[in-house]
Structure 1
Amino acid sequence: MPKTPSMDGLPVPQRYGAILAIALGLTVAVMDGAIANVALPTIARDLLASPAESVWIVNAYQMAIIVSLLSLSFLGDIIGYRRIYQAGLVIFTCTSLFCAFSNTLGMLTLARVLQGFGGAALMSVNTALIRIIYPQRFLGRGMGINSLIVAVSTAAGPTVAAAVLSVASWKWLFLINVPIGIAALGLALRFLPDNTQKAQGQRFDVISAVMNALTFGLLISALSGFAQGQNSRLILAEVAALGVIGYFFIRRQLRLPFPLLPVDLFRIPIFSLSIGTSVCSFCAQMLAMVSLPFFLQSVLMRGEVATGLLLTPWPLATMIVAPIAGRMIERYHAGLLGAIGLALFAIGLFALALLPASPGDGDIIWRMALCGAGFGLFQSPNNHTIISSAPRQRSGGASGMLGTARLLGQTSGAALVALMFNLSGDRGTHASLILAGIFSVAAAVVSAMRIRQPGPPA
């Protein structure tokens, strides 16, 4: 039976079970966005596919998530976040089996699309659920745990994949999701709460859902195509289609009482500033995390294991700082915490860009740790502000927009890395880190603009 929380969240035993259900589901959904990257050469050889074709194993998953995230969060406001999350666990677990037993590239790509829809369901409502699991006064702590899970899962994906591939077939990258998914589903059925407030009179608009999918799909496709130097006519056609469809999509949302793209929430200044901060910061994060392994392996000639160890201080520092920042939001304004965190993040990024020609491990480690600590100090308060600045019955829309901002930033950052390498050649990592520092400074400025805005209601 679903637990119905009071306005002050779930009692402690149920709260721990509910947050564990979210932690397990979110971990596998976020990690699967990066875990397949390491295995692409192995999968391509096994399925007799070219490297270019095998990229769709990653792209299909990311594209499915970004085109469906807002639609699923909107459904969560209508039918309940609990139902969407549980359905996502079922779909994700079953399609992980489908991925493992695929024997052609077409089958695996289709399985990854379906798995992406399951992952989108998990990501679309997780922060909305945290809002009703935790008492309002402790919401920052819940957001700290959420930020920790996302940061560590994103950074640990390649390391986990390398560890699995060292002892087993690539199919086990997907099979390990099955027992985790089953455990998370059991916890979700027992502990996850239902919405205390659901939007009245809200209906799902199929036309808006289709336009949303086309708008974000074309945006990501055009960004990736430009960065990878694809046919300019195709990119221009995608941009033109994006402009037309995007215009009518936004125009339609402005007329709806309950828009799928939460344009109504963007009228709240602190919400829109926090979303802008999130996009810039995650773009900076991905610019660094994608480009640094190339620098460590190709320029500094470090092995794969050494590279993984040198990257570890970043998520480790985030792991330590994010929960602390989640508690600090109870005393300090998120705009101030975010500005300080992003300033530290920028200093770490510029310091990495200015590494000496032959750096020692210590030179790299403290810079990585500074980046991770700064990012952890920013992320928890920022997520707290995004979710709590929205009306309670619009928590799904805020949760979906939070995930969309993260994915847009990460996708844009990855595309910009490809562009930097195409433009700068061997100095692509240096250019990427400088650009990441610039994005982080911009994010810090936007975050500081929030200090004059009233915080979310206590």
Structure 2
Amino acid sequence: MSTETISADSPSAIDGLQAERRGWAAAAIFTALAMASLDTAIANIALPAIAADLHASPADVIWVVNIYQIALVATLLPLAALGEVVGHRRIYLPGLLLFTLASLGCACAWSLPSLLAARVLQGLGASGIMSVNTALVRFVYPGRQQGRGFGHNALVVAAAFTLGPTIASGILAVGPWTWLFAINIPFGVVAMLIGLKTLPCTPTASHAFDFTGALLAAACLGLFILGVGSAAHHAPPGLVAIEVVSAVLLGWVLIRRQADSPAPVLPIDLFRRPIFALSTATAICSFAVQGLAFVSLPFYFEDILGRSQVETGFFMTPWPLVVAIMAPIAGRLSDRHPAGILGGVGLALLSLGMALLAMLPASPHVVDIVWRMAICGSGFGFFQAPNMKALMSSAPADRSGSASGVVATARLMGQTTGAALAALCFGLVGREGATLALVLGAGFAAVGCVVSVLRLVATPQHRA
């Protein structure tokens, strides 16, 4: 391994930056992460306005969301692997630049094809940001404070995903849909200027980048997300089967091809580490719960409990509010206590909260809803930072890029799968699907709790 030259204080990039520079670097990282995370959530709210303005059908305009997700998820692992070869900074900053320019393209789009083209580029830029995000956090914060850094990272992602629809609704209340994309531009420029001055250059690997493996990984993940999205939108079963089976076959080819590689694009070498594999499975379970919850809860509050849209917005607030409180606390605790215990406690609370929501009486008091949502937020916020630290610290420093790519891939695949399962629940039992989705979410959280606790008995040399 060789290390890029950055400055006289370059060793600080190995075990964190000095306090002042660390604060500015964290500001650049988290600003860009918030932008990329928000864009996965806000576009849904704008679809009716986009369809009306660009004279597009609902079936066509849904690609504004789908094509961004496919471009994002398909390239996470390849860009993470490339970050190990060229340095994470050299992926992050161009990704941020592309995301900002593509946001301008989205704001200036004059037709649906032009908007879709800009959304592809925006998804690629977001992938550049997210693929190496946690790897940079690992190098920005010193080892004794990494739990705190991952706590802040978890807070940004959770708040952006949860508050995205509310923020989008507020912007649309005062301006056109193009503002949803234009608002990224000043934040992107500021984050870029700060990042150029403060982000560390990180160690680089000596192995070459596997372009063929990267293409296989991108096709595999892209087809999987496409298949899940097709199922959620009730596409013909044959088409869904073709997409999912093709993804599985490409994944099998990729694994066989890279079985002996020291740094495969799909990091099968890292999945041989018990802590890494268990932490990834725990992450997928937890974010599937989030996807199930935030698709089903608005329907649950309005169709099952008979509440208004304004009340529903109020009821959704305790979850992100408590996450904002708990995530930094859990991050600090993860610097002193095992992730298996902290994650297990968090997911047990999340499972309990989801089950209690599903069992609400027909006409619950406001307080009955709020404290149940607070339990869910507490559990979700308590889980994320310890799990992220366990996953990242179980990978060698020279494989931080691949580990970071897995963090983002697990999050997005969990959210996408959860949303698709929620849609399936509605398709199976109609309006009662909201309750079924909450029960299913409680089950996913319970499974994640068990998997988290298993880390306490994992191979000792890989324990987080």
Scaled by the length of structure 1, what TM-score is found?
0.97
Deviation at 1:455, TM superposition (A): 7.5
Specify the alignment match of 2:127 in structure 1.
120
Deviation at 1:5, TM superposition (A): 4.2
Matches within 5 A, 1:233-312: 233-312=238-317
Matches within 5 A, 1:57-136: 57-136=64-143
Question: Residue type matched to 1:314 in 2?
Answer: W
Instruction: Give yes or no for the alignment of 1:143 onto 2:150.
Output: yes
Specify the alignment match of 1:41 in structure 2.
48
1:224 to 218, 224, 229: 229
Where structure 1 has 5 or more consecutive residues not aligned to the other structure, the ranges are none
Deviation at 1:316, TM superposition (A): 0.6
Deviation at 1:250, TM superposition (A): 1.2
Secondary structure of residue in 1 paired with 2:234:
coil
Specify the alignment match of 2:389 in structure 1.
384
CA distance in 1 between counterparts of 2:413 and 2:112 reads 26
Identical residues among aligned pairs (%) = 49
Deviation at 1:306, TM superposition (A): 2.3
CA distance in 1 between counterparts of 2:445 and 2:461 reads 22
Instruction: Give yes or no for the alignment of 1:180 onto 2:187.
Output: yes
Question: Residue type matched to 2:63 in 1?
Answer: W
1:156 to 156, 163, 179: 163
CA distance in 1 between counterparts of 2:292 and 2:245 reads 27
Deviation at 1:338, TM superposition (A): 0.4
2:405 to 396, 400, 404: 400
Question: Residue type matched to 1:320 in 2?
Answer: I
Contact 1:5-1:194 within 8 A present in 2 as well: no
Scaled by the length of structure 2, what TM-score is found?
0.96
Instruction: Note closer, same or farther for the CA distance 1:455–1:186 as it changes in structure 2 (3 Å cut).
Output: farther
2:217 to 212, 228, 240: 212
Bigger Cα displacement from structure 2, 221-230 vs 343-352: 221-230
Instruction: Give yes or no for the alignment of 1:4 onto 2:10.
Output: yes
CA distance in 1 between counterparts of 2:244 and 2:399 reads 31
In the alignment of these two chains, the number of paired residues is: 456
Specify the alignment match of 1:320 in structure 2.
325
CA distance in 1 between counterparts of 2:453 and 2:184 reads 40
Contact 1:333-1:455 within 8 A present in 2 as well: no
Instruction: Give yes or no for the alignment of 1:347 onto 2:352.
Output: yes
Measured on the aligned residues, the alpha-carbon RMSD in Å equals 1.4
Deviation at 1:239, TM superposition (A): 3.2
Secondary structure of residue in 2 paired with 1:254:
coil
CA distance in 2 between counterparts of 1:173 and 1:106 reads 18
CA distance in 1 between counterparts of 2:82 and 2:88 reads 8
Contact 2:456-2:463 within 8 A present in 1 as well: no
CA distance in 2 between counterparts of 1:101 and 1:455 reads 53
Where structure 2 has 5 or more consecutive residues not aligned to the other structure, the ranges are 1-5
Contact 1:388-1:457 within 8 A present in 2 as well: no
